[in-house]
Chains A and B, each alone.
Chain A
Amino acid sequence: MQYQRIAVFGGIYNNHLALATAIGDARRRGAEALFCLGDLGGFGPNPNRVYPLLQENGVQVMRGNYDISLAEGLEDCGCGYTDPRDNYFAEISYNYTFQQTSDIHKRWLATLPDALRVQLGRYRLYMCHGSPRQVNEFLWESTTPDCLLEKFCKDYQTDAVLCTHTGIKWHRELPRHRHCINVGVLGRPENTGETHVWYTLLTADPVLQVDFIPVHYDYQALAQEMRQEGLPEEFVETIVSGWWTTCLEILPGKERAHGRW
C-alpha cells in the first residue's frame, strides 16, 4: 500500500496520555496511517493503558528492545546501557513494567514484526527501532556518520531509514534524496527543559517533507500517576522539568552538553 502522509511515533514508555494526544493530533493533520517504532513500556506508569489506544486506533506497531524483552520474558530491557547508574534505573523501570503488563499484552508483543517497510509516495521507508542492523543500537545525531547511513540505505535497499531508541529526534538528508529520521519519542521530553514530547509527520509532496510535531499533553496528570505507582522521583522530575535525570550516562558529548545534568 502506498501512502502520501503518515505519522510515526517513537518510544511510548507507558505515556498513554501523550499517545492519546498524538493520535488525535495526527488524525487532524490528515495522516493516512499511524506507525509506532516500538518500546511501548518502560519509565512511565500503567503499561496496560497503552495497548487499547494502539489497537483501537489501528496504529501499525513494530517491536523495540523493550517489547522483545517483555514478550520473551528476558531479565532486562536490553536497552544497551553500559554505565551502572543507567542500568540501575533501567532495572527499576523494567521490573515495574514487566510486573504490571498483562500476559495478553505480552503475547501480543510476540506477534509484532521487528521492522516495517512502507511506501510513501516515491520513497521506500525502512522503519526500525535502534538501527536496521541492531535493535538497540543508538543512532544519535552526533554519532551517526553519513557513510554509515549511506551503507544502511544501500544494504537495506531503502530511501529513508526511520528509527527511535535514543529519545532525541533529528533528521539528515543525504545525496540523491535519501534520508535518516530519528522520529523522537512520546515517552519522555527530549532534555531541553520543555515538557512536551514529539512525533514525526512525513509527507511525500513529492519531495519528502519531514515535520517534527510537538505534543503538549497533561504532564502533571502523568506525574501524579507515576507517584501513585511508586515510580522513582527522578523519573517524575524529568516529566515535570523537561530535563533527563536518569539514563543519561549513555549520551555522547554533544548531546550531554545540551542537557542540565
Chain B
Amino acid sequence: MQSTPQAPFRHLHALWFQITGTLCNLECVHCFISCSPTNNHLKFLEPDTVYRYLDEAIQLGVREIYFTGGEPFLHKQMLPILDRALQVAPTTVLTNGTLITPTVADALGDLQAESRYSLEIRISLDDVDETRNDAVRGKGAWRRALRAMHVLQDRGILPIVAVTEYLYDATPAAPSPGHAPGEGSGFYQKFRDFLLENGIAKPRLKMIPVFAMGQLHGTVPLASYVTPEMMQGFDTDTLQCTTTRIVADGGVYACPILVGEAGALLSTESLTNALEPCTLYHTACHTCYVTGMTCANY
C-alpha cells in the first residue's frame, strides 16, 4: 500500500536470532507470539544457519547479537552457538531463566570470562510477588528466575531483569516521595528494591511495554496504526527497525516483534537482501512509535 509509511534502513546495529522458534517451556498469558511447550509454528534454527548469518553480519559491521525464542536454553547447541557469537560481537540471551542451573551458569561464566565482549543474560520477571508473577508466567517461574539471577551473579554475570508492563500501569506521573528518580508509577523502584533485598547487588532493569498480539490479540478495542501524517517531522532513528533485523524460521524479518509475520519478511536467504526499508503496517509499529521502545538492552 503506497500510503503505508516506511522506515529507512541505516546500518546493522543488532542482529537477532529466534533460535528456538515459538517453543518454550512456559506459556505466559501475555506472550506476544503465543510461545508454549506445544507451539511449533516457528521452528528451531540449525547452528549452521546461525553461523552463516553471523559470517554475513561480520562483513556488515554488526554491533551486537541477540538470541531469543521461545526459550533459547531449550536448544541443545545453545552453548557452542553462544561461543561462536561471542567471537563476533557482544551477545545477549533473552530467557525465562528456568533452565539456568548452576552447571549452565558455570558454562556461561566461562564464556564470559574468555570473551573480549560482554555476555548479557536478560531474565524475565513480571512481579516481585511470587503468586502474582507465576499467575502470568507459570508455577515455579519466579523461584527459578531468582535462582538464575543468583547463580549468574556468583559467576560474574550481572543479569538484566526484563519486566513486561503487564501487571503495572507504567504511565509516567509526577514524582512523589519513595519513587525512583525520574519514574512516577513506582514499580521501577519496587523492582529495584526487591532485587537489592534479595541479594542482587547491582540491579539492572529493562521495562517493556505490552503488545496487543499473540496471547493478547484483540484485547485493545481500537487498533492503532502509524499514518503518513504521523511521520511528518518524526525522527525515524528512534525506530529499532532502522538498525535491527531478526533471523527466524523462514528468513529475515524486520524486527523481533514481527518475527514470523508475512508482512515483515524481508528476505528468505540473505541478511544483506533484508537491509532495505520496511513497512510500518502493523499495530506493533504504532506501539513502537508511541513508546519509543526498543527490544535492545539500551
Measuring CB to CB, which residues of chain A are less than 8 angstroms from any residue of chain B?
A: 80, 82-85, 87-89, 91, 133, 138, 140-145, 147-148, 150-152, 249-250, 252-257, 259, 261
Tell which of A133, A147, A252 touches B118, judged by Cβ atoms closer than 8 Å: A252
> Is the CB–CB distance between B188 and A84 below 8 Å?
yes
Output the residue of B117, B120, B180 with the most chain A CB within 10 A.
B117
Q: Is the CB of A253 within 8 A of B11?
A: no
Q: At the interface, yes or no: B163 with Cβ under 8 Å from chain A? A: no
Determine if B100 is an interface residue (Cβ-Cβ < 8 Å): no
Question: Using Cβ atoms and an 8 Å threshold, which residues of chain A touch B182?
Answer: 84-85, 87-88, 91
Chain B contacts for A138, CB-based, 8 A = 298
12 contacts between A and B (CB under 8 A): A83-B298, A84-B188, A85-B182, A142-B117, A145-B64, A145-B90, A147-B59, A147-B88, A151-B60, A152-B61, A253-B120, A254-B117
Query: Which residues of B lie under 8 Å from residue A255 when comparing CB positions?
Result: 118
> Are the C-beta atoms of A253 and B181 separated by less than 8 Å?
no
Q: Mark B136-165, 1 if CB is under 8 A from A, else 0.
A: 000000000000000000001110000000
Q: Which residues of A contact B63 (CB under 8 A)?
A: 143-145, 148
Least CB distance, A103 to chain B, in whole angstroms: 27
Contact with A along B44-69 (1 / 0, CB 8 A): 00000000000001111111100000
Q: A84-B183, A143-B64, A249-B204 are in contact. Are A254 and B118 (CB under 8 A)?
A: yes
A252 touches B120 (CB 8 A): yes
Provide the bound-state CA to CA distance between A140 and B118, in Å: 10
- Whether B265 sits at the interface, judged by CB under 8 Å, is no
Bound Cα distance A232, B295 (Å): 32
Instruction: Select from chain B the residue with minimum beta-carbon distance to A154.
Output: B61
B contact residues around A133 at 8 Å (CB): 11
Distance of A256 Cα from B60 Cα, bound (Å): 28
Asked if A142 and B298 make an inter-chain contact with CB atoms under 8 angstroms apart, the answer reads no
- Please tell me if B205 contacts chain A, counting CB pairs below 8 Å: yes
Q: Are B117 and A143 in contact (CB under 8 A)?
A: yes
In the complex, A175 Cα to B243 Cα: how many Å? 27
| A256 and B158 within 8 A (CB) | yes
Contacts of A91 in B (CB 8 A): 182
Given A84-B181, A84-B183, A253-B158, also A147-B117 (CB < 8 A): no
Nearest residue, chain B, Cβ from A91? B182
Q: Which A residues are in CB contact (< 8 Å) with B90?
A: 142-143, 145, 252
Instruction: Identify the closest chain A residue to B152 (Cβ).
Output: A253
Whole-angstrom distance between the alpha carbons of A252 and B204 in the complex? Answer: 10
For residue B89, CB closer than 8 A to chain A, the reply is yes
In B159-184, the 8 Å CB interface with A consists of 180-183
Question: What residues make up the interface of B, taking CB atoms closer than 8 Å to A?
Answer: 11, 57-64, 88-90, 112, 116-120, 156-158, 180-183, 188, 202, 204-205, 294, 298
* Inter-chain contact B88/A145, CB cutoff 8 Å: yes
The 8 closest A-B pairs by CB, nearest first: A151-B61, A88-B182, A88-B181, A84-B182, A145-B89, A84-B183, A142-B118, A253-B118
A250 to B57: give the CA distance in the assembly, Å. Answer: 25
Do the beta carbons of A253 and B119 come within 8 Å of each other? Answer: yes
Complex Cα spacing A113 to B295, Å: 33
Additional A-B contacts beyond A85-B183, A256-B202, A257-B156 (5; CB < 8 A): A83-B205, A83-B298, A85-B182, A88-B180, A259-B202
Nearest chain A CB to B20 CB, angstrom units: 23
Tell me the smallest distance from the CB of B199 to a CB of chain A, in Å: 15
* Contact present for B158 and A84 (CB under 8 Å): no
With a cutoff of 8 Å between Cβ atoms, the chain A residues found around residue B202 in the complex are 256-257, 259, 261
Q: Is there an interface contact between A250 and B298, defined as CB atoms closer than 8 Å?
A: yes
Cα distance A204–B162 in the bound complex, in angstroms: 47
Q: Is the CB of A257 within 8 A of B204?
A: no
Q: How far is the CA of A250 from the CA of B59 in the complex (A)?
A: 27
Nearest residue (CB) in A for B119 is A253
Q: How far is the CB of A212 from chain B (nearest CB, A)?
A: 18
The distance in angstroms between the C-alpha atoms of A84 and B204, with both chains bound, is: 12
**Interface contact A145-B118, CB-CB below 8 Å:** no
Cα–Cα, bound, A250→B61 (Å): 22
- In the complex, the answer to whether B181 meets A145 with C-beta atoms within 8 Å is no
Q: How far is the CA of A190 from the CA of B60 in the complex (A)?
A: 31
Name the residue of chain A whose CB is nearest to the CB of B113. Answer: A254
Supposing A151-B61, A253-B158 touch, asked if A143 and B181 sit within 8 A by C-beta, the answer is: no
**Which residue of chain B lies nearest to A87 when distances are taken between CB atoms in the complex?**
B182
Query: In angstroms, how far is the closest chain B Cβ from the Cβ of A139?
Result: 9
Chain B residue nearest to A259 (CB atoms) is B202
A87 partner residues in chain B, CB cutoff 8 A = 182
Docked complex Cα distance between A142 and B182 (Å): 28
Residues on B with C-beta less than 8 A from A150 are 61
List chain B residues, Cβ under 8 A from A252.
90, 118, 120
A143 touches B118 (CB 8 A): yes
* A160 smallest CB distance to B (angstroms): 17
Q: How far is the CB of B276 from chain A (nearest CB, A)?
A: 19
Q: Is the CB of B181 within 8 A of A257?
A: no
